[in-house]
Each structure stands twice: as structure tokens, then as C-alpha cells.
Chains A and B, each alone.
Chain A
């Protein structure tokens, strides 16, 4: 175990197995009135994509609409939250819910296509020997709003997303990630908080040390570039494509190093890096949320994607009285006790998300709070987990979005509408208009 390598003079005391770590990360951060928090004349939009697997208890179990524990109702003053969404009460005015969304791209893949097709609505090309799908929404967004930050986007998970050991062939490319940087490049979802922390803040304790590290990184990247140039000559077309993609990646890292070295982090009191994955699942989930909040707050990234718990996970939720594994119990077979357990799990995850929103609502950012300047998609790419179907999908937009969203409403769409319509709507809202995306057929109005 290679642990913290921090300068003694700056070292804050850190003890126990990370339990203390999970809590104060955010609080330990930037004092409210630093230059960083006040510079933004035009508030920067922060976006996030928060994924929960295995759908939600909606109106399409055998028990009918009576059993729906997800869908809220009404709009404005009449906007009423559902049992699963209850914890969003303090942030109600930031919530928009959508009924009747579907995603045909995930259907038929059981679980294997659900994560990757959530943000694109494109069926992967299963015949291809390597990954082949489409750039995902978060990455398109990152191209628009993520280019001024060291990390264009951040991809995290709270546990390993490599759950389906049985996967073979192309199915393996689509069940571990939400994000594709381009049609052939899945991005790993990091579940080790320590690695996430280092991705955000880099290594080195002093400005001198950081400068030395970035200098060394630059010269090493030169070496990579030089050698690839030589090596690719003897290779076939497919292999050259891999190396060319690698060169693209080198450029991206160079851009980050450049940005990072021009940034002044002196206003930021960086907390101690976490030790590693926490063994309390609740703390682990919260710590990832904290790291995302921290990244938004310090403007290290403006786009985050988060798999809160892995597709097909066998994790148990003993801490909320559910000793069943999540995946098998998600096959509820309309059994009331199993449905109740699923509602518990789904409610708990919503509460974690709500706590995250609560933290953001307390962080001042320009003329408002981080939550005022946020636009989040929260949901699942499955409807009824007992059937692995893709309609209707539990889906929320959350956040002030710099005033771009009405909020406080449930929009029940008249006919089954591709989730990708919401994706183009989101792109519209952030001034990144795109005629179509995935299987989209138009924009959703009234949002």
C-alpha cells in the first residue's frame, strides 16, 4: 500500500480508516470569499450525469400505476414529489421530471448495453472487433464547456464497474462505462477515490515540486511522440489507428499540463488525499460526490459522470436493512416485499444525491450558488428491472442551469419519446445546438 506522500509542514492529521475523510473534504475547501469563488462574472455551467442501474419502481409493474414510487406529479406550486424523490424536497424548484421517455438502444442487451447507451441512444456495432458505438453526451458537452478546465470531464464510480465476468466479446465494451470519448474510445470509470483526487489535483506538495513534475511530464510526452512516429511506420492500418489515437491523447495531456501550470491554486486549501477505496459503501458513495463537488468548486472540471453503483452489482445494502443482493432482488417478479426493498435502495441513492445537492447549494459561486449554475441528469437506462425494458425511463433534470430550466414540474410526454430527444434538448439549453443525436426525433418543449 503506497500511501500519502505529503509534505510534513502541510500535513493535516488523518487517522482511522477513512471514515473521518469522507465527511469534511468539502468543508475543508476554499473559504467562501476567496478570489476563486468570486471571479465569475458570467457564471460557469457545471454539468453532471448521475447513473443508477436497474431502473426504478414505476407504474409498469403488474401492480399498475398504484405501485409507482418514482413519478412525481403536477407543476409549479402543485409539483408533488414521489416517495423515492422525497429527499429532493428542499431543492424542488430545481427539479424537472420526465415521463414516457424510452431508449431503444439498450433493449435486448439485458444489462450489457445499459450503461454505455444511456448517453447516446445508439446501438453499438456488435460485429466490430473492438469498441464501436458513438460519442456520448457528456463528452460532447465536455467539448463545449470543458475546454477551459484542466480536466474536460471526470468519470467516476463508487465500485468496480467490471461486474459481469461472464461477458464475452463486444458486450464487454459497453457495460462498464457511461462515457465514450469517440465511437471507439470508452473511458474508464475510476472507483478509487485516491486516484480521482490525484487526477484532480495532481501530485507534488509545493509549487516548485509541481513545476518540476509538469516539466518532466512535458519532456516525457515529447519522447512518446517521437517514438510513435518511428514505430507506426511498420504497422498495419488498424494498429496505426491505435497509435494515432494515442498521439491525440498525448496532445490532450499536454493541454492539461499547460492549463494546470498556468493555474493559481494558492487560494485553495487542498485537503489530504484519500487513502483509497472505503469499505463503508455509504461513505464511498458520499466521498465520490464530495470529490465531484470539490472539482466543480475549484473549477477543475465542469463535467462529471458518476455510476453510483455498478450495473448488475451483487452488492447488499445491509446498512438500510436490505440483505439481498441488488441485482437478483431487482428481478422482483412483482413480489411486494422485493419491490419494497428496491424502493429502499432507490430512495437511499436519491438521498445521497440530495445531500450532494445540499452541499452545492451552500457553496457560493459568483452571483449565486453552485447549484444555481448546475445542470444534472439523474436516472437509469432501464425501466422495470424485472423485464430489462427501456420504457419509460426514470429521468430527472436537476439544477438551476443558469436560468435555462423552468424547474418544479413533471412533464408527462404524450407519446413514447426517445431519451435522445432530451439529450438534444440539453444541448440546446447549453447553446450547443445539434440537429439530431442518436435516435432523436426532435426537441422536448416546455422544459
Chain B
């Protein structure tokens, strides 16, 4: 890698000359504030030499300067501006010089300065990684979000090592989670009777007259959920409230309710029509209760495992006068009252009459052998060894298995793990305590609770012998590299193939590492990059936190929000996982739509609730900036926010985030009472007349204002309805370029894609190694981007570059401060 980079940087152009021009640019545009007297932001550029040979001594300052210039964040808009060509010339000279300087300083790996690679402290599995790994390992569906505390996020990522804290609440919940996972995986020999209630999602109760996403066509209303059925047996379903009340509208006509499991009908019962009408009319409350009895304790035999359950009605022709009712909005008086509807959720209780432990996918995965009378312990050992190897991400030895067998014996003898206590009479325990299964359940929990599973750390060579830490950077071992690779691309530990290569000591060769990286990237598990990397990088994973005012935006609802989430996830996945040019994220002309979202976008040619790939003729919706999810996330509940939008483009897409607002500034632009309504733009321009504001907002706002045609929920608009005036999306960017509207904005900023690709690469590298990048990482980032250019900026090219980088393969020394805080622990 180093050799390759050197060759490339040699080809970058001559950095020998140029110092004079660079000095001139600095003196003209920067030194006015950043000089040794004023020291604005603590930086004095007049003191720093720009001779190529000494540049790397202040590489941190130059990297910062590059970022500010590239993002046009400096010089402030009120000051004299360099031309774009001046900036480009400066940047390419400076980058080439820095890149070469770094390589000179680090001619060989052994003599690399300590800062060549950063230090990644020990990493605890995040709750996301825990869930993904456990589900893959055991073949279960555990929702780790509901079991473990939230992580501290850094730049949106939850896997940054330094932020992964440990609290009593975490450990308490973690132990419980391992216990629950083990129970789910092994199942219960005498399953405990359990009940669950699934509430009707708020959105569905509004839509009981229409079709609900995820339910079969030809049905209306109802709800659907996934339930974990602990064992084979009979389960009893109760639908406590079908909206039948004092008034008899709901039972005027006959309706048919269905229960479906995995799409298969298991129950059918009619409701309404002349007889029921009579009961409700004449029988009062007891009559209504009589009807509801038909929907209580419905027995259904179900096989163990996760299943989709649906409760719904068969769609029937509407009588003519229903049309009027159906046109009323939401919960408006009487809407939907004319048909029964699922309003109180669904209860599931069971299992009853279970024959005992049931065959499930997870049991097939965990029980790699079947115990016979004489082979019981041998089989248990095999199971323990297989699990431990995968979970600990390394080969296991006899001692590892011996330690786990203690747990097997404990469970085997005492039945500790399966307290057979239910309300029903209990059959006596099988002789010999808890039995084989109970032993295995203990083993599973013991494996998951092990720090070998929970933590991954880069071992310090010779830590045992040396009291003082070694001073050099060193390479990760094959196994450490395997874990880093698989958590990067899969959010979980290595599979057997990767583990085998690493265990054989062969992963370290560049060819093997590349081959494995590409293999993992092609695997279905690489889809974790979409949710855990891309959507978090772009701050689009928490759309539910955006709550538009229902009075201002009556057409917005949770279903539309979900559609936006589906669209953005599918779109990002289509670019990243289909290995297209990552720049397509900005400009691709395809997307994924269903009828509801298409109509929201003003597209009328899409029908039906299902999502499909669509080619967009209208360039306004191309790429990320045209997506509803982006516009929603960068708005407030009651209005758009050009500031949030500008900051989003600068920070996420360009990788040049603006400085957060200093204390003592007014950042709100709401309408003032009594004032004639003005467009947001007019209000913002007023505030940019203050020089203190304009310093940053002169950069941020023009970008956001060019996106004003998208309203707060992502609809296109030509008019600001509040101010009753047309939207003016014409702005002048800090580089003096005039743009009108989002399309020109996109072309102006990202005409060349490398700014965006670089931003993505930086974030992806941060995500890959689990630490924030520092200035010394930047030459590597640029080298990766340069090399990826030749391969069309495909994700695979960027991933290849990242896994080959020093930052990925090497461990540096901790920063001095980090050492100080760790010194508490070295007293032994």
C-alpha cells in the first residue's frame, strides 16, 4: 500500500515549487486574522513555514485550513474571497505536499512515527452488534434495542470505541439479555404459559376502512405483528375490542374477520348482519359481550418459532352512502364506525397442551449433534466448542470448553435454567435434573456473557513483559484483523470461512485481505452498512424524531414517514450494495416508491401499496437531496429550516461541517406577532445583515435556501403559502456562483464528485476502525479516493482502500491524556 501511494503521489505533480504562491494566498486572505498577534482561533499562519519539507510539522493546522477552504467556511463571507481556482490550486498543492511529507516521514513500517496510525481502545460490542451477532449465532430474532441501554453516539455512529461506556444498568440488562437469548435458542422443555398484548399502532386505527400495508390484498383494516411462539402447541387469540358500541353502525352489515399466520388462514368468523344487529339493538351491553365472546380465546395450533400474525377483515363492496363517510379525515366523527374494526389490539396466550421442546431453526443451528446415552458429554462439548469459536472469534482450546462444561453440568443437574413453574399442573421433572437441554441453555448463556464475546481489543505485544508500553505502531494479528473486517462490513463477528483463514495466519497477506473484504461485501450481511453506517452518517435513521405539526401538515402521518424511511433505505442500498459509483447517491435517477409516497411527490402513475424501483424523469427528485426523508429530517415541526439544510449539506455531503453557533446568538426565525407575513427567506436575509451571524450563515444559508422548494414534509412547492408569495430559490454560493433551485445547487457543489466521495470515505473509515479520524489519517483518505477514482468510485474500491490502509491494519499508541486516565489501573 505504501509503495503504491508513493507512486501515485509522485504523479500528483511537482510540489517543489509553489511555496511562493501559497504564501501569497495565505498573506492575502488569511493572515489578517490568523497572525501571531491576533491569533484568531489560536492559529497564526504567518509563523508557519510553507516549505514542503517542513509542512508535515504542522500538518494538523494545514489539514484544518484545507477543510475550511474547501467548504468555503473561511475566509468569512464579509472578507475578501479567493477565487475558486486559487483555492483549488492551493488545495492540490498543499494536499500533495502533505501526502508526500507523510510518506517521507514514514518510509518503512518499522520506523513509522507513532502517529502514523491512531489508537483504538478496547471495544465493547454495541447493542446493535450484540443483536446482530446473537441472532446470527443462534438463529433467533432478539430485539436488542428493547433489552439494552442506548449507546452514546459520536457523529451519529454508535460504535466509536471511546464512547462505549459501561454502567451497572448496562451489565444488569446485558446479563438478562444473554439469559433471554439462551432461552429463546434452546426452547423450553415444559414451556411456560405466557401472554402478550400487541397494541394497535396509532396509524392503523385511523385506517381501518382501508387496506393496511403488509396485509393481503383484498383485506381491509386490522393489524399485523411478529410473535415468538415459544413451543409447538395451542395458542389462544383474543381480540378485545372491535369497535362495537352503543350505536349499532358497526354491525349493520356482515363482515368477515380472519386470522392469518404466515399468510395462511387459521380462523374465520363473521360479524354483523341482521342477527348481530338485533342482538346489539335489543341486548345492550350483555348482548355486545355475547358477540365479543366469539372473538375471545380463539384456539389456534402453532409451530414453535417466529411467525407473522395478521388479524384483518375481508374487503367487501361499500354501500353507496359510505363514500361520503370515507372521505372524512382521520378520527373525524363517525369515520369507520360503519364497519367493525380492530381498535384494542390483540392478545396471544399460550402454549397450551404443548408436547414439549419443539424443533426450531435455532435448535437446528445450536444442536450440532444429538446426544445418545453414552455420548452426552461429548456432544455437549461439541456444541460448546462450536458456539465458543464463533462467539469468541478465535480457535478455542480444551480449557475453554472445560470452563463451559461447568455450566453444562450445573444446568444438566439442577435444571436451574428452567424453573418449571406455571399456573397449570406441572409434570414431574425428568430424572437427572434439568436434562441435556437445560445444560446447553446454561452453556449458551455462559458463552454470551463472556468478556471474550463482549469485548474486542487489540492486544499489546509483550504487554505481559514490558512495564512501559512499546513506543511503536504495530500490526493487528490475523484474528484481530478478521474481527475488525467483519464488524466493519457485517456488524457481527467473522463467519467460519474468514475465521479459518485468520486462524491459519493467512489473512495478513494483502491478497487474502482484499479477497475476504470483497467476499464479505458481496454477502447479504453487508446490508448492515446501509442501516448502521450510511443512514447514521446521513442522520436519516431516526425519522420518527421529526414530528410535523398535524394542523399545518394534515396529510402527514406515520405511514408516510415509514414510506420515506423505506425509500431512503432502498435507495441507499441500491447504490452501495449494487456497487455503483457512490456519487450516484447524489444524482441517481432511480428511486423506490409506492402509491402513497409517489402521490406525495406529485407523481400519479404509481399504483398500489408495494414499493418498486422507479426511474424518475424529473431531476428534482434525483439523488439524496430530492428525497422526502432528507427534507423532513432537516425541517422543524412547523417549517423548513434552510439553516439545518445548509448545515446538513456542508457537514454530511461535503465533509466540511460549519462551526456550531457560539453563545449569545439568536438562531430562530419564526414569524413575529403582528408583523406582515414574510417568506422565511426574507426573514433570514434580515438576520444575515448582522455581521456576527453572517460569518457562518453567509455560507450555510445560501445552500439551504436553494432547497426551499421542498416544504417541511418534502413536497414540492412553488409558493410559500403562509407568506403567499412565490418561492425564490435563487442564491449566490460563497464562491460567487449563482444557483437557482436544488438541481443547480447539486451541480454547482458536486460537479466533481470527489468532495462527496472524500466525505463518504472519511466517515466510512471512521466507522470501520471505531474512532474519529485525525489529521494524520487524511493523506490515507486522499490516497484511497484517488485510487478509487480509477475504479469508478465504487463502494468496493473504497472498501478495498480502507482495509489496506494503515489506519485499518495498524494500532498506534494512545494519546498522552488517555494514558493518564488509564494510569489508575496500572497500580497492580
Which residues of A are at the interface with B, using a C-beta cutoff of 8 A? 1-9, 11, 14-18, 107-108, 110, 112, 125, 127-132, 155, 160, 162-163, 165-169, 172-173, 176, 181, 184-188, 190-192, 194-195, 198-199, 203-206, 208-209, 212-213, 215-217, 219-221, 223-224, 226-228, 231, 233-246, 249-250, 252-253, 256, 275-276, 279, 314-316, 318, 323-325, 328-329, 331-333, 335-338, 386-389
Most buried by B among A127, A165, A198, A316: A165
Contact check: which of B149, B172, B445, B463 meets A256 at CB < 8 Å?
Answer: B172
Please, which residues of chain A bring their CB within 8 A of the CB of B195?
4-6, 8, 11
Are A17 and B345 interface neighbours, CB within 8 A?
yes
With contacts A167-B155, A237-B822 taken as known, whether A314 is within 8 angstroms of B197 at the C-beta atoms is no
Give me 5 other A-B pairs in contact (C-beta within 8 A), A16-B344, A110-B661, A172-B152 excluded: A15-B241, A132-B817, A188-B169, A227-B450, A316-B547
Are B417 and A212 interface neighbours, CB within 8 A?
yes
Closest residue of chain A to B404 (Cβ to Cβ) is A223
Interface string of B423-458 (1 = CB under 8 A from A): 100000000000000000010011001111001010
Question: How many residues on the B side are at the interface (Cβ–Cβ under 8 A)?
Answer: 108
Question: In the complex, what's the smallest C-beta–C-beta distance from B674 to chain A, in angstroms?
Answer: 9
Are B194 and A169 interface neighbours, CB within 8 A?
no
With contacts A130-B163, A236-B814 taken as known, whether A231 is within 8 angstroms of B451 at the C-beta atoms is yes
Interface string of B129-157 (1 = CB under 8 A from A): 00000000000001100110110111110
Closest residue of chain B to A153 (Cβ to Cβ) is B168
Contact check: which of B152, B228, B668 meets A176 at CB < 8 Å?
Answer: B152
Contact check: which of B150, B172, B670, B672 meets A328 at CB < 8 Å?
Answer: B670
Closest residue of chain A to B548 (Cβ to Cβ) is A316
Closest residue of chain A to B344 (Cβ to Cβ) is A15
Which residues of B are at the interface with A, using a C-beta cutoff of 8 A? 121-122, 142-143, 146-147, 149-150, 152-156, 162-163, 165-173, 175-176, 178-179, 192-200, 202, 225-226, 228, 240-241, 344-345, 349, 403, 407, 410, 416-417, 419, 421-423, 442, 445-446, 449-452, 455, 457, 459-460, 463-464, 469, 539, 542, 545-547, 549-552, 636-638, 641, 647, 651, 657, 660-664, 666-668, 670, 672-673, 772, 814-815, 817-819, 821-826
Question: In the complex, what's the smallest C-beta–C-beta distance from A83 to chain B, in angstroms?
Answer: 19
Are B822 and A241 interface neighbours, CB within 8 A?
yes
Please, which residues of chain B bring their CB within 8 A of the CB of A249?
166-168, 170-171
Are B450 and A166 interface neighbours, CB within 8 A?
no
Inter-chain CA distance A107–B459, complex, in Å, is 40
Are B149 and A223 interface neighbours, CB within 8 A?
no
Inter-chain CA distance A130–B345, complex, in Å, is 45
With contacts A220-B449, A235-B457, A237-B819 taken as known, whether A166 is within 8 angstroms of B637 at the C-beta atoms is no
With contacts A212-B417, A249-B171 taken as known, whether A220 is within 8 angstroms of B178 at the C-beta atoms is yes
Are A227 and B452 interface neighbours, CB within 8 A?
yes
Contact check: which of B121, B198, B822 meets A1 at CB < 8 Å?
Answer: B198
Most buried by B among A215, A217, A239, A240: A239
Are A237 and B825 interface neighbours, CB within 8 A?
yes
**Interface secondary structure of B, over-half rule:** loop
With contacts A160-B545, A239-B121 taken as known, whether A190 is within 8 angstroms of B169 at the C-beta atoms is yes
Question: In the complex, what's the smallest C-beta–C-beta distance from B656 to chain A, in angstroms?
Answer: 13
Those 3 A-B pairs whose CB atoms lie nearest each other, nearest first:
A241-B825, A238-B822, A331-B668
Please, which residues of chain A bring their CB within 8 A of the CB of B667?
328, 331
Please, which residues of chain B bring their CB within 8 A of the CB of A242?
121-122, 166
Are B666 and A333 interface neighbours, CB within 8 A?
yes
Are A15 and B172 interface neighbours, CB within 8 A?
no
Inter-chain CA distance A179–B241, complex, in Å, is 43
With contacts A215-B416, A235-B457 taken as known, whether A221 is within 8 angstroms of B153 at the C-beta atoms is no
Inter-chain CA distance A329–B641, complex, in Å, is 13
Please, which residues of chain A bring their CB within 8 A of the CB of B651?
166
Are A325 and B638 interface neighbours, CB within 8 A?
yes
Please, which residues of chain A bring their CB within 8 A of the CB of B152?
162, 172-173, 176, 186
Are A185 and B165 interface neighbours, CB within 8 A?
yes
Are A246 and B163 interface neighbours, CB within 8 A?
no
Most buried by B among A6, A195, A252, A323: A323
Inter-chain CA distance A125–B162, complex, in Å, is 14
Question: In the complex, what's the smallest C-beta–C-beta distance from A271 to chain B, in angstroms?
Answer: 14
Inter-chain CA distance A1–B141, complex, in Å, is 10
Please, which residues of chain A bring their CB within 8 A of the CB of B663?
107-108, 110, 387-389
Please, which residues of chain A bring their CB within 8 A of the CB of B199?
16-18, 275
